[in-house]
């Protein structure tokens, strides 16, 4: 899993406003309801918030494997939600009957809680992608890492209406032993990737598709983005990739927990 630096410039413009935007304290209480993902929209009653004591620890190793088996693919969508692009991605996933994992930032979740709820209602899973997408988190003090992870967890859970993120993906892959242990203790499995589509760099839809086809043998977890700028190439690429992978006998699942 190579370090992914996409979005650093875009998030740099908002990271300085993170504390003012989120107004979250490190010691604030964290909501902790488990998300039930089924073949249809999950019952919201089962996703109501519960006290922090209900969190179950998961493994702290970085996961890549798919629960869909040897021909499984994990589609992961990072940095949103975004009002321009997330609805288009959701429409494509709905059209092809595909479920994905959305790695959401605290800033974006607080700004667009309706879209977080749309993600959950469609049966997708949530992943904590930190408050402000700071790709240098691994070089910051543990107190800062804690704030970024726990504040994002609380914000995402509140935005979703009580559905907790089940994974934690460090911005740019900037995991530390501390951040992995903290996330796992909160029931969020550290989540990596195998195929970086480089869609954030906008290389063209053809190049994005070619990267997936070339690198999918490396492992099942694909990295895309639905925020941070013009994501029209991502949408175009997904429009081609989803039916093509299904025709090749792949099935779409979630990262194992």
Q: Mean pLDDT, to the nearest integer, of 152-164? A: 98
Percent of the chain with pLDDT over 90: 79
pLDDT for position 55: 75
The CA distance from 115 to 125, in Å, is 13
Does 96 qualify as catalytic in the annotation? no
Summarised one tens digit per residue, pLDDT across range 89-146 is 999 999 999 999 999 999 999 999 999 999 999 999 999 999 999 999 999 999 999 9
Catalytic residue among 138, 151, 225, 226: 225
pLDDT for position 44: 30
Residue 18, CA atoms < 13 Å, CB-side half-sphere? 21
Domains and CATH numbers, the chain: 59-253 (3.20.20.370)
pLDDT for position 30: 33
Q: Mean pLDDT, to the nearest integer, of 152-168? A: 98
How many Cβ atoms from other residues are within 10 Å of residue 35's Cβ? 19
Percent of the chain with pLDDT over 70: 79
Model confidence band, residue 73 (pLDDT cutoffs 50, 70, 90): very high
Structure tokens at 203: 């290389």
Q: Mean pLDDT, to the nearest integer, of 196-204? A: 97
pLDDT for position 37: 33
Q: Mean pLDDT, to the nearest integer, of 148-154? A: 98
Catalytic residue among 78, 134, 138, 199: 78
Q: Mean pLDDT, to the nearest integer, of 223-227? A: 98
pLDDT for position 40: 37
**pLDDT above 50 (res 201):** yes
Nearest to 3 by CA among 175, 204, 254: 175
pLDDT for position 1: 64
Does 82 qualify as catalytic in the annotation? no
pLDDT for position 4: 57
Q: Are strands 189-190 and 167-168 parallel, antiparallel or unpaired?
A: parallel
Q: Mean pLDDT, to the nearest integer, of 51-71? A: 84
Greater confidence (206 vs 27) lies with 206
Nearest to 148 by CA among 123, 176, 125: 176
């Amino acid at each position: 899993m190579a370090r992914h630096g996409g979005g650093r410039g875009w998030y740099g413009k908002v990271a300085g406003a993170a504390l003012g935007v989120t107004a979250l304290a490190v010691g604030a209480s964290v909501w902790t309801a488990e998300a039930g993902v089924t073949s249809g929209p999950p019952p919201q009653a089962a996703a109501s918030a519960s006290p922090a004591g209900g969190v179950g620890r998961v493994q702290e190793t970085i996961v890549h494997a798919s629960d869909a088996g040897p021909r499984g693919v994990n589609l992961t969508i990072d940095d949103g939600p975004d009002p321009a692009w997330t609805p288009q991605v959701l429409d494509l996933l709905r059209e092809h009957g595909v479920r994905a994992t959305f790695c959401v930032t605290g800033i974006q979740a607080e700004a667009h809680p309706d879209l977080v709820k749309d993600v959950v209602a469609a049966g997708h899973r949530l992943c904590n992608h930190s408050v402000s997408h700071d790709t240098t988190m691994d070089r910051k003090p543990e107190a800062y890492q804690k704030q970024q992870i726990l504040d994002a967890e609380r914000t995402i859970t509140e935005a979703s209406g009580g559905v907790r993120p089940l994974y934690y993906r460090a911005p740019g892959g900037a995991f530390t032993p501390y951040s992995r242990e903290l996330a796992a203790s909160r029931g969020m499995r550290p989540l990596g990737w195998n195929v970086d589509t480089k869609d954030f760099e906008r290389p063209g839809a053809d190049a994005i598709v070619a990267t997936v086809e070339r690198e999918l043998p490396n492992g099942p977890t694909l990295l895309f983005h639905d925020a941070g700028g013009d994501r029209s190439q991502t949408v175009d690429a997904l429009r081609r990739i989803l039916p093509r992978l299904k025709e090749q006998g792949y099935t779409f699942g979630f990262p194992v927990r």
